[in-house]
Amino acid sequence: MVEISAAEYRAFVRADFYTFMHRAFRELNPSVPFLHNWHNELVAAKLEACRRGKLRRLIINEPPRSLKSHAVAVAFPAFMLGHNPSTQIICASYGEELAYKHSLDCRNLMSSDWYKSLFPTRLSPQKQSAQEFVTTENGFRLATSVGGVLTGRGADFIVIDDPLKPDEALSKTQRVAVNEWFSHTLYSRLNDKSKGCIIIVMQRLHQDDLVGHMLEQEDWDLVRLPAIAEQDETHIIRTQYRTRTVIRKAGEALHPEREPLPVLEHLRRTLGEYNFAGQYQQQPAPLGGGMVKAEWFKTYVPGEQPSEFDLVFQSWDTANKNTELNDFSVCTTWGVREKRLYLLHVYRKRLEFPDLKRSVVQMAAEHKASTTLIEDKASGTQLIQDLVREGVYGLTRYEPKMDKIMRLHSVTSTIENGFVYVPKEATWLVEYLYELTTFPFSKYDDQTDSTSQALDWVKSGIPRFGLIEYYQQEAAKLGLSTKSSGQAQLAKDPDERIAIHNHTGRKIRWDGQHWVDFNTGELCANGSNLPSGFTQVEEFEPCPKCASKGHSQVGPQKRCSQCGHQWPPVKSDIHLPTRKDVLNGTGHLQGARLIRWRYP
């Protein structure tokens, strides 16, 4: 180890911010050991680049108790004022108490004998309050809280440290207030707009927190330091003395000496996945998703979906107000085949009202959709009225019976049970899945609303022509099944066996060779023996009156176990539709064959 003199050490501390930050921590916390780690060196190097004018916009996202406030709000202002006593600095935090604490720590540091031995900077006796202290060269550090009045004040450096409290992050009102205060008040306080520097340091709390808001406005130098690396990371630390590279492997803790992996996993369980993902992983929505998981969706190769669908329909989520031009309007196009729903297309765009009307008509024509769902609320009501007035057909008013979170919750089982298919590849797929899997914490929810509206409508029962349903039921009674080709065929397994798991309720069926999942067809068990835990049951015909399944046999008739309704046994005679019905595309039976016509 090379020994250096006290004078050489002081010179090094004056020149190197990381060493100054380390020594300042000891000055303010003499009984607490300073634990060195590479991430503090990285943060110090970025701050020094700001001081030297090499960076003008810097965002630092790191977990709580990572020394970020000491580095950015305490040591850095003191270091800047030490080198240039006329520097003007504004430091903001979410509350006055926190803002004043950092201010007092910085003032105490600059008043210490150690600091005075390093720099000639001195504080003016005229003003040394917790809110603001001034140097003898008219430099200052001004502390304020989010929402504070800064009329007439300007600065060379603006430092924002934790502008939003974690327990307020889910409040849209609070998030908007912080973002608007920064954009409309704080941002304009720079003395020199071309050279002034803004630094934001915080833990991520929501996709639309201040960091998320500002990243959409302009380019920032972003330092993101998750507590547990999600992938291999490469960090380059550049100082005036050297440049070194740090390789961090996926799964490694950020600072193992302070918070090893077992501690972090305990925190994950204690805080919950969403809070841990934001505050510790700097990913404000869990990678695994929120209410919906990405792995729940089934996939299809584009071009290999069913050639014909029972129904093609579209679900529109429109911006709530015509004036909200930042909101997206979304149209999801769906194909229904038996119990399965195929997402065929997603159209998402910011539209003014006249363009929105044209888009509804164009999308329906492009995808040959026979039904268009529009929520009968706010701008949707006016949209429906205008389109009806203009002679557009196929419109269906959707009236929600619950809020958007509960609506999605009510249909998650449809996705989880494998009834919803998305293409393996599509230009819109990544954004679509990301929004659905991060809801309700995602910044946007328009694609989610369009999807939940579509699934809820299908779940509630798609309105159909009674004649079509009648002949479908008659065909089923005769042992006929219809394919996408429209040709009627005998059911492959009229004596199909059904079994239900005693505890989970999972339903399986016998396909003639194997026991397979009733809905997905996935193999459950080889051989004819019923798998353990399953009980074979009769797949009851639904009651024509209440649609419940479960009946008893009373002579030649069946009696519903739910409502008591009795209905006659299957009849072999079939009443054919009229010529008008056939011309209208409702369907037609001849002999023992069923032709199923497409929906218009």
Query: The tokens of 214 are what?
Result: 């500002």
CB-based contact 531:550 (threshold 8 Å)? no
pLDDT tier, 437 (very low <50, low <70, confident <90, very high otherwise)? confident
Buried b (16+ CB within 10 A) or exposed e, 100-135: bbbbebbbebbeeeebeebbebebeeeeeeeebbbb
For domain 294-460, the question of CATH label 2.30.30.240 is answered with: no
Tell me what the mean pLDDT of segment 27-36 comes to: 92
**Which pTM does this prediction carry?**
0.54
Confidence at residue 560, expressed as pLDDT on a 0 to 100 scale: 63
pLDDT, greater one: 157 or 10: 157
Place of tokens 């396909």: 511
Q: Which ranges of 478-600 would DSSP assign to H, the alpha helix?
A: 579-583
CB-based contact 376:384 (threshold 8 Å)? yes
pLDDT, greater one: 454 or 517: 454
DSSP 155: B
User: Cα-atom radius of gyration of the chain, to the nearest Å?
Assistant: 33
Confidence at residue 289, expressed as pLDDT on a 0 to 100 scale: 55
At residue 367, does pLDDT exceed 70? yes
Q: What angle do CA 570, 575, 576 make, to 5 degrees?
A: 135
**305-309 contact pairs (CB < 8 A, 24+):** 305/335, 305/342, 305/344, 305/421, 306/335, 306/337, 306/342, 306/484, 307/484, 308/337, 308/484, 308/485, 308/486, 308/598, 309/335, 309/336, 309/337, 309/342, 309/484, 309/599
pLDDT tens for 345-355 read: 999 998 888 89
Confidence at residue 470, expressed as pLDDT on a 0 to 100 scale: 56
Q: What angle do CA 410, 166, 446 make, to 5 degrees?
A: 35
- Please give the mean pLDDT across all residues of the chain: 82
Confidence at residue 240, expressed as pLDDT on a 0 to 100 scale: 85
Q: How far apart are CA 214 and CA 192, in angstroms?
A: 19
Confidence at residue 590, expressed as pLDDT on a 0 to 100 scale: 40
Query: The tokens of 569 are what?
Result: 């046994």
Q: Where are the domains of the chain?
A: 6-279, 294-460, 464-490+540-600, 497-538
Q: How far apart are CA 15 and CA 34, in angstroms?
A: 20
Give the rounded percent of residues in the chain with a pLDDT score beyond 70: 80
Confidence at residue 469, expressed as pLDDT on a 0 to 100 scale: 55
At residue 76, does pLDDT exceed 80? yes
pLDDT tier, 568 (very low <50, low <70, confident <90, very high otherwise)? low
At residue 587, does pLDDT exceed 50? no
The H-or-E segment that residue 387 falls in is helix 379-389
At residue 591, does pLDDT exceed 50? no
Q: Which ranges of 251-326 would DSSP assign to H, the alpha helix?
A: 261-271, 273-279
Instruction: Give the CA count within 13 Å in the CB-facing half-sphere of 352.
Output: 1
CB-based contact 195:154 (threshold 8 Å)? no
pLDDT tier, 202 (very low <50, low <70, confident <90, very high otherwise)? very high
Q: What share of the chain is helix, strand, coil (3-state, %, to 5)?
A: 35, 25, 40
pLDDT tier, 485 (very low <50, low <70, confident <90, very high otherwise)? very low
At residue 584, does pLDDT exceed 60? no
Q: Residues near 26 by Cβ (< 8 Å), separated by ≥ 6?
A: 34
CA distances for 264 relative to 67, 162, 226, 282, angstroms: 17, 21, 11, 14
Query: The tokens of 19 are what?
Result: 């060493």
Q: Which CATH number fits domain 6-279: 3.90.226.10, 1.10.150.20, 3.40.50.300, 3.10.310.30?
A: 3.40.50.300
At residue 81, does pLDDT exceed 90? yes
pLDDT tens for 229-258 read: 988 999 999 988 889 999 999 999 999 999
Span of 235-249, 408-422, 470-484, 513-527 with lowest mean pLDDT: 470-484
pLDDT, greater one: 359 or 563: 359
pLDDT tier, 488 (very low <50, low <70, confident <90, very high otherwise)? very low
Closest CA to 357 of 320, 399, 385: 385
Query: The tokens of 284 are what?
Result: 């404000």
pLDDT tens for 247-288 read: 999 999 999 999 999 999 998 877 766 678 888 999 886 555
Span of 34-48, 176-190, 217-231, 564-578 with lowest mean pLDDT: 564-578
pLDDT, greater one: 393 or 462: 393
Q: Residues near 575 by Cβ (< 8 Å), separated by ≥ 6?
A: none
Write the burial class of residue 553 (CB in 10 Å: 0-12 exposed, 13-18 middle, 19+ buried): exposed
